[in-house]
Amino acid sequence: MQIYNPSQLYNRHVQEQASEAVEEHLLSGDSFLKIKEAYPDSLYTPNFFIRIALALLTAVAVLFSAGIFGLMFWSSDESIIISLVFLALISYAALELFVQKKWFYNAGVDNTLMVAIPVFIVAAFFVADFSFDTRLLSAVMILLCGWLCLRFTDAFMAVLCYVFFFIFLFTNIIQFGSLARMVAPILMMVCSMAIYIFFQRLSAAGSFNSYRGCHKAITLSALLTFYISGNYFVVNKLSIELFGAPLTTSPLMAGIFWFFTVSIPVLYVAFGIVRKDKMLIRTGLLLIAAAIFTVRYYYAIFPLEITMFIAGMLMITISYALIRYLRTPKYGFVFRIKNADTIPVEQVESLITADRFGTTAPVDTGFEFGGGSGGGAGASGKF
């Protein structure tokens, strides 16, 4: 079923683990070379910057190919739909060809082609007089993205498949009368939780699996959908949008969703610390911010700048205290400064700094105060 040989993916995994260990100065370069020889990597993944450029150039080529089809078959809806499906097929054929002949693996070209396929199909659905059916669309997308994920062991396709599965489930549940609508958020939460536990188990069992990346991506998505399904803002707005009346009118329902909104992020962080699970900690931190925004949306107790002042002070104090505290390992946690020689974080950081605080060009207007943006990039890093 999968296009790659499991041993190819395994060798790649070994090399990645080994290079990570070298970056942390745990392995000597000598051993790394030995490992590289014993587990040769036959997959083709170029340098990071090259990958970005390849993805861009592929997107240009695909878009203009679509443009040529558009110029030729602009006559009727049917011909447009047929040409879109045809384009999706061509993209798929090209993808298969590149991977089988050259073993492209996250090389930029294959990623763009893979994304192009569902995009063309969705576009084909939209052409049909906008009378598309969400349930049909999501069912088709589940099958399509699911197949791409299985065939190319691609994590992004796994996420897409999960998202469409979620939409499919939700749109079906709300068909079953008002009671189903009432409990829909809870059902979606239960479903997310079940999927989280299932994939967590799946990736824990056995040491290596070709779909590790996909499992991780799905567990992360499940964590997010678990929170989103119970978030007061989402439930309130979505029920008004879809059912005409908010689900959160009764104090009991409102209380339940407020409880979910505030407690889930904290629980994530707490569980993450107990189980030493970084994904839980990071997601929890991110969602704490989401919880604060949700509360502020409905109850603006303090003006924005006071909230930011307090939050900023708390964040600085807590993180600085923890950084000092974790200089030496405590309870299995540590603040280990990453070696800056291996990653050019400095360069990236310096650019961001110059961008956010740098002087603007012609200085006729003088300096303005209070114009700074406090957005920031959120908790960065790979999941």
Partner 1 sequence: MDGDLFKKLLQENLITEREFENVAQHQKTVSLFVELRSVLYLGIAFFSTAIGILIYKHIETIGHDVLVICIALVCVACFAYCFKFGKGYTNEKLSSPNFLFDYILLLGCLLLLTFIGYIQFQYNVFGNRWGLAVFIPMLLLFAAAYYFDHIGVLSLAITNLAAWVGIAVTPTRILRENDFDGNRTIYAAILLGVGLLLISIFSTSKKMKAHFSFTYKNFGAHILFIALLAGLFHFEPAYFVWFLVLACFSFLAFRHAIKERSFYFLVITALYAWIGLSYVIIELLTSTSDGMTGLYAVFFYFIASGIAFIRLLIYYNKILKQHANL
By CB under 8 A, is residue 293 in contact with partner 1? no
**Candidate ranges 171-179, 194-202, 214-222, 301-309; the one touching partner 1 (CB under 8 A):** 301-309
CB closer to partner 1 out of 202 and 234: 202
By CB under 8 A, is residue 367 in contact with partner 1? yes
Measured from the Cβ of residue 294, the count of other Cβ atoms closer than 10 Å reads 20
Alpha-carbon span 11 to 7, nearest angstrom:
6
In the complex, what is the shortest distance from the CB of residue 50 to partner 1, in angstroms, rounded to a whole number? 5
3-state SS class at 44: strand
By CB under 8 A, is residue 318 in contact with partner 1? yes
Alpha-carbon span 168 to 146, nearest angstrom:
14
CA R_g for the chain: 24
Task: Pick the binder of partner 1 from 50, 89, 136, 300 (CB under 8 A).
Answer: 50
In the complex, what is the shortest distance from the CB of residue 138 to partner 1, in angstroms, rounded to a whole number? 32
Phi and psi of 227, rounded to 5°?
Answer: -70, -45
Name residues contacting partner 1, limited to 157-196 (CB under 8 A).
none
CB closer to partner 1 out of 176 and 293: 293
Q: 262: burial class by Cβ within 10 Å (0-12, 13-18, 19+)?
A: middle
By CB under 8 A, is residue 301 in contact with partner 1? no
| Local structure of residue 366 (DSSP, 8 states) | -
Q: 264: burial class by Cβ within 10 Å (0-12, 13-18, 19+)?
A: buried
Task: Pick the binder of partner 1 from 215, 258, 282, 290 (CB under 8 A).
Answer: 282
By CB under 8 A, is residue 347 in contact with partner 1? yes
**Candidate ranges 115-123, 158-166, 183-191, 325-333; the one touching partner 1 (CB under 8 A):** 325-333
Name residues contacting partner 1, limited to 197-226 (CB under 8 A).
207-208
In the complex, what is the shortest distance from the CB of residue 279 to partner 1, in angstroms, rounded to a whole number? 11
Q: Considering Cα of 169, then 172, then 176, then 180, what sign does the dihedral take?
A: positive
| Local structure of residue 172 (DSSP, 8 states) | H
Task: Pick the binder of partner 1 from 3, 23, 41, 46 (CB under 8 A).
Answer: 46
CB closer to partner 1 out of 298 and 320: 320
Q: 29: burial class by Cβ within 10 Å (0-12, 13-18, 19+)?
A: exposed
Binding mask of the shown chain, residues 56 to 85, with x at each position contacting partner 1 by CB under 8 A: xxx-xx-xxx-xx--x--------------
